[in-house]
Amino acid sequence: MRKAILLAFVFMIVFSTQVFATLPNTSYNQIVYDENDISYSSAPASFVPETEHVFAGINGLKDPRDIYVDPSGEYMYIVDTGNNRIVRCDKDLRPLDILSNFSFSSTEDSLRGPQGVFVDKYTDLIYVCDTQNHRIIVFDQDFNCVRIFAEPEILLSSDTTSFNYLPSKVLVNRSGQMLTIVQSLNKGIMELSSDGEFVGYIGAPPVSVDLWQKFLRLFMTKEQRGKMEKFVPTEFDNFTFDESEFVYAASSTQMGQLMSQYSNQIVVKDLAPVKKLNPKGDNVIDYDYYPPMGDIYFDVMTQFVDVVYLSDDLFCALDKNMGRLYAYDGDGQFLYMFGGGAGERLAQGSQLGTFKTPIAVERIGSRYFVLDQATRSITSFLPTEYGSAIEKSASAYYNGDYDLAYSTWEEILRMNGNYHQAIEGMARVLLRNGHYKEALDYFKIIDSNGKHASDAFKQYRKQLVSQYQMPIFVLILSAFAFAVVRKIWIALKKLKAEAIL
């Protein structure tokens, strides 16, 4: 008897720990917003932390600023700014080789405070932003220096005197043109030709002066007016290409302005903290009401510092203030969120999967990698069943595989009944397949009364009208006939009365 109790006790302990062990080590806030973005509820973990890489083998990182996965998905480049080097790792983050010193035209040279790296998928050349040396350097795959682009001569700007050229990120497109983010330059992304000559700026919204500002200008001194003219703060933090070389750019400076002007829909598109720029530099991001902007209701404002493009128009943006990652689909619809730590009282980045100062995010396969500048480490995240189902459904819907998307959404709803995106998606599939009444019912469940719901209603109304064509026709006809008969009746009565008189 005693043995049995003991055994049961042991079993209890073993199984209880097992239960806890199988629970993913999640960070604290996993949330999903409802359709109207007015409330949120908790959600299952979409991604869970796997390991934290600290790179002890190469004496650790110092003030790292960026990570970059080359187009083949085989290598990751870590920009180890404080150590003046670039570290190349394999996709499991084992360091392979290090770039710090190099020789160019038989002179020894070295990097100083590099902040960005990019690998051109057409030429396999590595572009490094040697920020503190004011230049962009091109290396081949064996880290031999091929070319150095010094500071370009800026033709358009009138105030070059105080300008300090500090290129921090670079992208190179099909034709060899370089797009660079230059630190403390608030005119957008600088575009350089393949020879390193200045072409122009893209991505900065046009300066709009409203009537009130024009009125205020009447009373301003010249100095004040000059100050106002410089008010075009579009400073990007990081950017990335999608397959067709549209630029996804994150900007942490936009949120404050966005929050003060969110009722002005035109301005909001220009101030979106994550932009999708076409080659002309226009923001072409899609969204319903709010642009992708992280937390809509918050104590600490979301500020996106980096964005990673996944596939099928999905992208994920990193918020430095709360250490959270937010994924969106091509319609700007929020998909999932994970991470945490930075701004929260509880974690402060000490728990695995939370961050102190997250600064860059990359993705290899289904793994996310997040670089934390303060803890000098890279944390990898693996998807849960829930997280991968969300991505699967979004991709399936994007690729037109509606049946797969529908069944995946059903699966997601079993895991999270509050996931309104699934209901919305199912409603859209139903609408597409001609089940208008059901689609409308689904839209009504989540109170989604936008364009798609309206289309469903229109088709449903058409169905009803054609179904009850006969009765409606008879009703209208009889009403008309009744009116005519009544008119004649009255006229006859009148005639009769007159005849009698």
Partner 1 sequence: MIEKARANTFGYLSGLWREIAFSLRVMTKPFDGYWDLKHEKRGSVRASVFIILCMLLATLAHYQFSGFFFVKSFVRDEVSIIREFLVITVPFALWVISSWCFTTLMDGEGSMKDIFIATAYALVPMIIINLPLVFISNLVTLEEGAFIDVLKGIGIVWSGFLIFSGTLVTHQYSIGKGLLTILVTLAGMGILLFLALLVATLLQQVLSFFIGLYQEIGLRLL
Q: Does 185 bind partner 1 (CB under 8 A)?
A: no
Q: On the CB side of 181, how many CA atoms lie within 13 Å of its CA?
A: 25
Cross-strand bridge partners of residue 240: 248
Nearest to 276 by CA among 241, 322, 301, 233: 241
Q: Which of residues 460-499 bind partner 1 (CB under 8 A)?
A: 461
Stretch that binds partner 1, among 61-69, 139-147, 367-375, 445-453 (CB under 8 A): 445-453
What distance in Å separates the CA atoms of residue 306 and residue 66, rounded to the nearest whole number? Answer: 9
Stretch that binds partner 1, among 73-81, 123-131, 413-421, 456-464 (CB under 8 A): 456-464
Provide, rounded to whole angstroms, the least separation between the CB of residue 334 and partner 1: 18
Nearest to 239 by CA among 181, 301, 182, 198: 181
Member of 110, 194, 265, 454 binding partner 1 (CB under 8 A): 454
Cross-strand bridge partners of residue 102: 109
Q: Does 447 bind partner 1 (CB under 8 A)?
A: yes
Q: Does 451 bind partner 1 (CB under 8 A)?
A: yes
Stretch that binds partner 1, among 195-203, 366-374, 454-462, 479-487 (CB under 8 A): 454-462
276 or 420: CB nearest partner 1: 420
Provide, rounded to whole angstroms, the least separation between the CB of residue 439 and partner 1: 13
- φ, ψ of residue 398 in degrees (nearest 5): -65, -40
Q: How far is CA 116 from CA 77, 189, 208, 222, 360, in A?
A: 9, 14, 32, 39, 11
Tokens of 370: 């997040």
The answer to whether the Cα torsion of 141, 144, 147, 150 is positive or negative is positive
* 420-432 vs 402-415: helix crossing angle, rounded to 10: 150
Provide, rounded to whole angstroms, the least separation between the CB of residue 444 and partner 1: 6
Provide, rounded to whole angstroms, the least separation between the CB of residue 178 and partner 1: 45
Cross-strand bridge partners of residue 136: 129, 149
Tokens of 51: 């390991």
Provide, rounded to whole angstroms, the least separation between the CB of residue 288 and partner 1: 13
Member of 62, 174, 225, 458 binding partner 1 (CB under 8 A): 458
Q: Does 139 bind partner 1 (CB under 8 A)?
A: no
Q: Does 427 bind partner 1 (CB under 8 A)?
A: no
Q: Does 174 bind partner 1 (CB under 8 A)?
A: no
What distance in Å separates the CA atoms of residue 306 and residue 290, rounded to the nearest whole number? Answer: 19
Q: Which of residues 38-77 bind partner 1 (CB under 8 A)?
A: 38
151 or 455: CB nearest partner 1: 455
What distance in Å separates the CA atoms of residue 467 and residue 496, rounded to the nearest whole number? Answer: 45
Member of 71, 233, 256, 450 binding partner 1 (CB under 8 A): 450
Provide, rounded to whole angstroms, the least separation between the CB of residue 421 and partner 1: 18
H or E element: which one contains 146?
Answer: strand 145-149
H or E element: which one contains 172?
Answer: strand 167-172
Provide, rounded to whole angstroms, the least separation between the CB of residue 190 and partner 1: 43
Q: Does 36 bind partner 1 (CB under 8 A)?
A: yes
Tokens of 214: 């024009």
Member of 110, 144, 449, 469 binding partner 1 (CB under 8 A): 449
Site residues for partner 1 per CB under 8 A: 36, 38, 444, 447, 449-451, 453-455, 457-458, 461
